[in-house]
Amino acid sequence: MRNRGVLGLLATVALAAAALGACQPTPPDDDPTPGEGVTTLTPETEEPTTDPETDPTPSGPLDERAQAAVEDLAERLGVDPEAIEVGPLEEVTWSDGSIGCPQPGQHYTQALVPGARLVLTVDGEPYAYHGKGEEPLFYCASPTEPAPSDAATA
Q: What's the pLDDT tens digit per position in 57-67?
A: 444 578 899 99
Q: What percent of the chain has pLDDT over 70?
A: 57
How many angstroms separate the most distant Cα atoms in the chain?
A: 90
Q: How confident is the model at residue 5 (pLDDT cuts 50, 70, 90)?
A: low
User: Phi and psi for 57 in degrees, rounded to 5?
Assistant: -75, 130
| 135-145 mean pLDDT | 95
66-114 pLDDT, tens digit per residue, is 999 999 999 999 999 999 999 999 999 999 999 999 999 999 999 999 9
Which of 146, 136, 141, 135 shows the shortest CA–CA distance to 100? 146
Give the pLDDT confidence score for residue 4 in this predicted structure.
Answer: 53
Give the pLDDT confidence score for residue 60 in this predicted structure.
Answer: 58
Sign of torsion, CA 90 91 92 94?
positive
Q: Output Rg (C-alpha) for the chain, integer angstroms.
A: 29
C-beta separation of 90 from 115 below 8 A: no
- Confirm whether pTM is higher than 0.75: no
